[in-house]
Structure 1
Amino acid sequence: MKPIIKYPRQEYLARFSGETIDIGEVINSKIPVKASIQVDTLTHHTLVVGSTGSGKTHTVSIIVNELVRKTSKYKVLIIDWHGEYMKLINRAEYLEPRRMPLNIIEHNNIYEFIELLQDSLGLTPPQVYILEKIFENKKYMINNIYDLRNVLENIEDQGSWFRESRLSLLRKISPLTRDGLREVFDAYKDKIIDYINICENPIIIDASRIQDPYIRRIYVSILLKKIFKEAVKRKVWSRNKLLVVLEEAHNVLGRNNYIGIVARMLSEIRKFGVGLVIVSQSPSQLVDEAMLNTNTKIIHSIKSLNDLEVISKSLYLPLNIEKIIPYLDVGEAVLYTRGLKKPVIIKVKEI
Structure 2
Amino acid sequence: MVYMLSRLYPLVLIAISIAIILFSFNIVALNEIYYILSIVIVVIIISITMLSKKVKTKIREIIVKNDIFIVNTENKTITGVAARLVGKQEADKAQVDVQRELNNLLGALLSRSKANDVRYVVVTYVGGKQASSSIIVFKECENCVEEVAKEFQSIAEIASVVAPHVSLEPVSVSTESIPLPRSFGNVTFARITDLKVDSPAAMERLVVNYDVEIGEMVVRNQAVSVGIMASDVLRHIGIFGSTGSGKSNTASLLAKELINKGFNVLILDWHGEYRQKLPEFTVFDQSNVFKLNPLKFNDIDDTIEILSDVLQLTDPQRFLLFVLVSKVKKSEGSLSDLFNLLKNVNDQSNWIKEVKYALARKLYPLFTAKGRTLFNADQNPDLNSLLSLNGVIFDLSFINNLRLRRLYGLFVMKLVSDYYMARRANRKLLIVVEEAQNYFQTENEFIDKLISEVRKFGIGLCIVSQSPSSISPNVMKNTNVKIVHAIKSDIDKRILSESMSLPSNMYSIMDKLDVGEAILSAPNIKIPILIKIKKI
- Give the TM-score taking structure 2 as reference length: 0.61
1:219 and 2:404 matched: no
Q: Using a 3 Å threshold, how does the CA distance of structure 1 residues 82 and 241 change in structure 2: closer, same or farther?
A: same
Residues 3-31 of structure 1, C-alpha deviation per residue, up to 9 Å, x if partnerless? 13142334131212xx6121111135564
More deviation, 77-86/5-14: 5-14
Task: Give the conservation status (yes or no) of the 8 Å contact 2:296–2:380.
Answer: no
Residues 273-321 of structure 1, C-alpha deviation per residue, up to 9 Å, x if partnerless? 0011100001111111222111210000001111111111111101111
SS in 2 for 1:350: coil
Task: Give the conservation status (yes or no) of the 8 Å contact 2:483–2:518.
Answer: yes
Task: Give the conservation status (yes or no) of the 8 Å contact 1:50–1:300.
Answer: yes
More deviation, 186-195/120-129: 186-195
For 1:235 and 1:190, locate their aligned partners in 2 and report how far apart those are by CA, in whole Å.
19
Q: Which residue of the partner structure matches residue 58 of structure 1?
A: 249
* Aligned-pair CA distance for 1:197: 2.5
* Aligned-pair CA distance for 1:192: 5.7
- For 2:215, give the aligned amino acid: G
* Aligned-pair CA distance for 1:142: 6.0
Q: Which residue of the partner structure matches residue 418 of structure 2?
A: 229
Q: Which residue of the partner structure matches residue 328 of structure 1?
A: 513
* Aligned-pair CA distance for 1:131: 1.9
Q: Which residue of the partner structure matches residue 227 of structure 2?
A: 36
- For 1:25, give the aligned amino acid: E
Q: Which residue of the partner structure matches residue 208 of structure 2?
A: 15
Match of 1:207 among 396, 417, 426: 396
Task: Give the conservation status (yes or no) of the 8 Å contact 1:241–1:274.
Answer: yes
Task: Give the conservation status (yes or no) of the 8 Å contact 1:142–1:148.
Answer: no
Residues 95-144 of structure 1, C-alpha deviation per residue, up to 9 Å, x if partnerless? 12652111110374323222221111111111112123334556545622
* Aligned-pair CA distance for 1:223: 1.0
* Aligned-pair CA distance for 1:329: 0.6
* Aligned-pair CA distance for 1:335: 0.5
For 2:369 and 2:528, locate their aligned partners in 1 and report how far apart those are by CA, in whole Å.
50
SS in 1 for 2:523: coil
Q: Which residue of the partner structure matches residue 75 of structure 2?
A: none
Match of 1:89 among 278, 285, 308: 278
SS in 1 for 2:530: strand
SS in 2 for 1:329: coil
- For 2:280, give the aligned amino acid: R
- For 1:88, give the aligned amino acid: K
Rg larger in structure: 2
- For 2:194, give the aligned amino acid: I
Q: Using a 3 Å threshold, how does the CA distance of structure 1 residues 24 and 107 change in structure 2: closer, same or farther?
A: closer
1:1-351 to structure 2, matched below 5 A, reads 1-2=131-132, 3-10=193-200, 11-12=203-204, 13-16=206-209, 20-29=211-220, 31-69=222-260, 71=261, 73-96=262-285, 99-106=289-296, 108-136=298-326, 139-141=329-331, 143-191=333-381, 193-199=383-389, 201-236=390-425, 239-255=426-442, 258=443, 260-351=445-536
Q: Using a 3 Å threshold, how does the CA distance of structure 1 residues 56 and 135 change in structure 2: closer, same or farther?
A: closer
For 1:108 and 1:269, locate their aligned partners in 2 and report how far apart those are by CA, in whole Å.
17
- For 1:5, give the aligned amino acid: L
* Aligned-pair CA distance for 1:92: 0.8
**Which runs of 5 or more residues in structure 1 are unaligned?**
none
SS in 2 for 1:54: coil
The alignment-based identity, stated in percent, is 36
For 2:343 and 2:217, locate their aligned partners in 1 and report how far apart those are by CA, in whole Å.
61
For 1:192 and 1:208, locate their aligned partners in 2 and report how far apart those are by CA, in whole Å.
24
Q: CA RMSD in A?
A: 1.9
Point out which structure has higher relative CO (alpha carbons under 8 A, 6+ apart): 1
- Give the TM-score taking structure 1 as reference length: 0.92
For 2:404 and 2:314, locate their aligned partners in 1 and report how far apart those are by CA, in whole Å.
19
SS in 1 for 2:318: helix
For 1:79 and 1:307, locate their aligned partners in 2 and report how far apart those are by CA, in whole Å.
23
**Which runs of 5 or more residues in structure 2 are unaligned?**
1-130, 133-192
- For 1:109, give the aligned amino acid: D
Aligned residues: 342
More deviation, 174-183/157-166: 174-183
For 2:478 and 2:386, locate their aligned partners in 1 and report how far apart those are by CA, in whole Å.
24
More deviation, 1-10/201-210: 1-10
* Aligned-pair CA distance for 1:145: 2.0
Q: Which protein is richer in strand relative to its size?
A: 2
Task: Give the conservation status (yes or no) of the 8 Å contact 2:325–2:338.
Answer: no
- For 1:208, give the aligned amino acid: S
Task: Give the conservation status (yes or no) of the 8 Å contact 1:23–1:63.
Answer: yes
- For 1:251, give the aligned amino acid: N
